[in-house]
Structure 1
């Protein structure tokens, strides 16, 4: 018997879409999960503006303090796919509540950290908890919403992803500005505690029980292969500041071999009608998933790394405070927030065209920002760059939100957790590459030229290249979608013509019989 597709595999799951009864509390439940998602994703970038003061207060080396950012990103990315599968199997509400409790406790521990070692350990646990939460967000949208409502919900989710990453430096700078003093950085973590406690109480009341109905044995071998492979690829990247790329480059080959073994194992599990950690048919047979995940990966290379470049340029190069550095990139956050909300309402109508338009806007905006930094006096850079960042932000708002919707909209509900985890893992891989490559390039150009604007412009150039690669993928998907639409329209017209011919024949026979 031929292997079933991802969609076919989900048809035997109880509770198909046709029997779906809308939960009256679904929009309130969504608001709670989005607040939590915003908080966890904000922690990826909010700490970047505090690294100089944090390094001074704790007496840490630059390589060690970098683990405060990269350690969180590492554990976050490692647990996404297994956590999504566990949510599918044992209940998304249960995984969400457990992850939220762990995140709040780890945030409190990070805020109270007496040493850099304690802080890094707390951040590793915090990343694990955040990784448990993230795939439940997209999976709960699949579970709670259908049709046009699902598109709007994914639009809000995509807006949350884009805004939280972009606004992190602004929020971090504001908190450090209000909580001045040697321990001001601790409030970057303490602020999560009251928000998380309130969210936990609301989630306990509002989130629906149960998962997607696809219960079964968890694939332990798949979890180990995926975790080891992801760790081998990510570890040299998060160690880039300490020379990880030159010392640990051989781990990339090990990681590639382990991930290839993971794919082969998952195919074997599927062939035996088992429950894989990540079903390969999501990539090969679910429309839009594979290319959407690839687009998100290459886009996040530039999108995530550029905030560290801006923080280094404005704080180290121009002497800005963390708050001033955050405010300098506020136009991007404002543009992204506004456009993402609009894109969530338009994605069902315009689809991949929104992504293509947004990527073009990002490329133009970031190219203009690089030119401005090279041409204007450093004293005017913060103001002069604002229009270019606003344009780039508007473009970014039209990228992330529609891409998430387009990538996940045809995924079966029973596989929503692992699919969302897979998509976000791909984005985390891209973010890890970007946060390692862009600051590394910044320092490389700076050491060669002693020119901060040139170093920042080099980082922006890599972001433009990432957006360009994503644009190529978007155009390929757009062309394929148009070809599919044309084929479907031609088939519909052909079927209509056959029906019309059949009706004419029947009418002719009836007329002849009557006479």
Structure 2
């Protein structure tokens, strides 16, 4: 029964994470179908990540307290409905609002999947389900451009973009029905009627919005004053931390800050934050490089990125099974592999003519994908290994919020580097962007190595 419940959860996670990347190849189709401007496109791409990140922690906390099944099904039905609304959009505002609501529903749904694993499997058994979840994350993120390209190729360049949203509807309805039937219902006596820390929810939400908003609007807001929002966001985050310490004296806070005293959780969350900053934007810039730079179709661009998807999915599954043997060293190895794949991609685009570059990128992207699979799954397993089961939803919500903030920051930062070099040529722009990505990955490697050193020091002391 628990494996069937896990399967339903993985399907739901796949849908929500697929919608992060699948939109990238649909940009020309959306522009042709709705005449969406640059600002609207930025909101279609990044607004989803903004509302996604906004609700992860409070939704995880709510699932911890009141039961996963009901929150999971409600989030899944909301995601299905908002997907249909996005597909039916008749103008730019409609599409942007639908994407914002779709991201919010994804934020409600996603932490329930990790919480489900924490509740259904004992710590020693979690490597396999987390491996499957990591494979799902990697595949959903990387296969999005291919699936989007296929749908647009079949349905046409003008209206094909609608089907990247409509495809969620039958899958979502089926998964919601199965989830209600299969996911265990928590007995009433185990549901906690504790305070859900509403002020903490508001302060954290304000902090996330202030930090993400200038990143989401990075290309539209040209004034440097926009970065003041990041400063005020960090100040709000400080106020949130102070409130949580105060609230913890009389009730259970939204986030137990004591979790960050645990080295594996603190450094693992840091790895997630920085890795997703260096990882997520590359699907966006490779798509622009291939489609707008060299005239590849959406389908061809998606096929070019397929080796990354295959390598990521296989390595994530294997990494989940061997993480307990190798620990954070496996994450460090994966980071090095991703950097090597990106560096080799730089060499390829400067040596191979544009008409054949999609063929020669296959091997570097496969190496990068394998590395990515060895980062995402093992890191998530290690990061949550020492988290109490009753706080698994909110703890995983923090980790996934770090993913969304990292992804939004990476898209803004690496995208800015890419567009700043576009006048020098597409090869120069992609090179600069990949070097910026490698810089983020180096920071993630530093955090992984710090955890390895800390573990060794603790082992020596014992």
**TM-score range normalised by the length of the shorter chain:** over 0.9
Which structure 2 residues correspond to residues 392-411 of structure 1 after superposition, within 5 A? 392-411=368-387
User: Which of 321, 331, 336 in structure 2 is aligned with 1:345?
Assistant: 321
User: SS of the counterpart of 1:410?
Assistant: coil
User: 1:510 maps to which residue?
Assistant: none
User: 1:512 maps to which residue?
Assistant: none
User: 1:238 maps to which residue?
Assistant: 216
Contact 2:29 2:157 (8 Å CA) reproduced? no
Distance 1:169 1:241 in 2: 23
User: Which of 174, 196, 201 in structure 2 is aligned with 1:198?
Assistant: 174
Distance 2:100 2:222 in 1: 18
How many residues are aligned here? 460
Aligned-residue offset at 1:56: 2.0
User: 2:308 maps to which residue?
Assistant: 332
Matched, 1:453 2:431: no
Greater Rg over alpha carbons, structure: 1
Distance 1:358 1:485 in 2: 23
User: 1:378 maps to which residue?
Assistant: 354
Contact 1:230 1:255 (8 Å CA) reproduced? yes
CA offsets, 1:205-253, max 9 Å, x none?
1111129755401111101110011100100100112136635221111
User: 1:95 maps to which residue?
Assistant: 71
Contact 2:417 2:436 (8 Å CA) reproduced? no
Aligned-residue offset at 1:37: 0.1
User: Which of 452, 455, 462 in structure 2 is aligned with 1:481?
Assistant: 455
User: SS of the counterpart of 2:126?
Assistant: helix
User: 1:495 maps to which residue?
Assistant: none
Distance 1:215 1:343 in 2: 38
Contact 2:5 2:182 (8 Å CA) reproduced? yes
Distance 1:357 1:214 in 2: 41
Question: Structure 2: 5+ residue runs without aligned partners?
Answer: none
User: SS of the counterpart of 1:125?
Assistant: helix
Contact 1:68 1:120 (8 Å CA) reproduced? yes
User: Which of 246, 251, 257 in structure 2 is aligned with 1:268?
Assistant: 246
Matched, 1:279 2:253: no
Contact 1:55 1:62 (8 Å CA) reproduced? no
User: 1:51 maps to which residue?
Assistant: 27
Question: Structure 1: 5+ residue runs without aligned partners?
Answer: 1-24, 489-515
Contact 1:366 1:460 (8 Å CA) reproduced? yes
CA offsets, 1:382-429, max 9 Å, x none?
111111111111111100000000000110011001001000001111
CA offsets, 1:28-62, max 9 Å, x none?
10000001001100101100110122012111211
**Moved beyond 3 Å, runs of 4+:** 211-215, 244-247
User: Residues 383 and 459 of structure 1: is their aligned pair in 2 closer, same or farther, counting only changes over 3 Å?
Assistant: same
User: Which of 250, 258, 283 in structure 1 is aligned with 2:228?
Assistant: 250
User: 1:220 maps to which residue?
Assistant: 198
Distance 1:190 1:357 in 2: 39
User: 1:417 maps to which residue?
Assistant: 393
User: 1:8 maps to which residue?
Assistant: none
CA offsets, 1:339-381, max 9 Å, x none?
1111011011111111011111111111111121122222221
Contact 2:86 2:162 (8 Å CA) reproduced? yes
State the Cα RMSD in Å: 1.3
CA offsets, 1:242-288, max 9 Å, x none?
13663522111110110000011001111x1312111101111x341
CA offsets, 1:142-176, max 9 Å, x none?
10000332121111112211221111111111111
Distance 2:44 2:281 in 1: 15
Distance 1:244 1:55 in 2: 23
Distance 1:129 1:386 in 2: 35
Distance 1:462 1:79 in 2: 29
Aligned-residue offset at 1:135: 0.7
User: Residues 247 and 170 of structure 1: is their aligned pair in 2 closer, same or farther, counting only changes over 3 Å?
Assistant: farther
Distance 2:398 2:25 in 1: 29
Distance 2:45 2:281 in 1: 12
Contact 1:34 1:137 (8 Å CA) reproduced? yes
Distance 1:73 1:124 in 2: 8
